[in-house]
């Protein structure tokens, strides 16, 4: 009995293409909200106020003229494709960050923020 070549080729393609696809999402969460920054006023807001609004900072950097409080959270998205012979993996991590510069009088002198975690994306490595 002659086997149909087309069916065999199709089977070959199917076997070579078999595998699994994975998508993953990882969040390093901290309850920092962009809208809360409206309550911060340099020269008036104190370090205590900052901690009341945003909680304890993720990191404190000691500076010569005070401290910097850093609040950070991140969102990672992973995409993986495992085929018979080839594996593709892609990871993208983006952060939301707020930085407060606090002087020796415990007053906020400057602050800056970046909210980029929404831009984290799934994809392939090419």
Partner 1 sequence: MACHFDLKPCFALCLLLLIPMIAGCLNARFEKISKGADVPAPSTGLKVGQATLTDALKQYGAPADIVDMNGKVALIYKKSFYQGGQISIGIPLSGLSFPSSLRMEATGSLMRHDLLALFFTPDGILSETMYERGASQPFWESFWK
Whole-angstrom Cα distance, residue 61 to residue 72? 13
- Smallest distance from partner 1 to CB 49, Å: 18
Find all residues with CB under 8 Å of 71, minimum gap 6, and list them.
Answer: 30, 32, 54, 57, 58, 97, 98, 99
Our finding on whether 35 is near partner 1 (CB under 8 A) is no
Q: Is residue 64 at the binding interface for partner 1, with CB under 8 A as the rule?
A: yes
| CA triple 111-112-115, angle to 5 deg | 145
Residue 58 interacts with partner 1 (CB under 8 A)?
no
Strand, helix or coil for residue 53: helix
| Segment 67 to 96, residues that bind partner 1, using CB under 8 A | 68, 70, 84-95
Residues of the shown chain interacting with partner 1 in the complex, contacts defined by CB under 8 A: 2-3, 5, 8-9, 11-12, 15-16, 42, 61-65, 68, 70, 84-95, 97-99, 101, 109-114, 116, 119, 125-126
């Amino acid at each position: 009995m002659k086997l149909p070549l087309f069916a065999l080729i199709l089977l070959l393609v199917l076997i070579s293409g078999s595998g699994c696809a994975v998508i993953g999402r990882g969040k390093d969460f901290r309850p920092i909200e962009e809208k809360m920054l409206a309550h911060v006023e340099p020269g008036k807001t104190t370090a205590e106020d900052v901690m009341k609004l945003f909680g304890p900072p993720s990191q404190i950097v000691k500076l010569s003229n005070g401290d910097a409080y850093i609040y950070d959270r991140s969102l990672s998205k992973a995409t993986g494709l495992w085929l018979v012979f080839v594996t593709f993996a892609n990871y993208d991590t983006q952060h939301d960050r707020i930085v407060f510069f606090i002087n020796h009088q415990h007053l906020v002198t400057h602050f800056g923020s970046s909210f980029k975690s929404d831009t984290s994306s799934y994809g392939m490595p090419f």
